[in-house]
Amino acid sequence: MTGAYYVETGVSQYLGSVVANFARMPSNDLSSLQFLPLYTKLFFGLGWLAAGGAAVAMQWQSSCCRC
């Protein structure tokens, strides 16, 4: 079980770095209003990803664990 914990920790850190790369700002100096569309798109996409993951988990639970 400890090995599974370490693998999951590594995967979560990798996925966190992928999200951080999506949120990376361009190197030139931009105002806050120019950053807003980037973060809006990022968090909108993350929200849909979380909703999809929750739907898949609920569907899996209902088909797998019938009482």
What's the chain's average pLDDT?
A: 85
Domain that holds residue 23: 2-64
pLDDT tens profile 19-37: 888 777 776 777 778 788 8
What is the number of domains present in the chain?
1
pTM here is: 0.61
Residue predicted with more confidence, 54 or 21: 54
* Spatial separation of the C-alpha atoms in residues 2 and 38, rounded to whole Å: 38
What pLDDT score does 47 carry? 93
SS (H, E, C) 1-67: CHHHHHHHHHHHHHHHHHHHHHCCCCCCCCCHHHHHHHHHHHHHHHHHHHHHHHHHHHHHHHHHCCC
Confidence of residue 9 (pLDDT cuts 50, 70, 90): very high
Res. 11: pLDDT tops 90:
yes
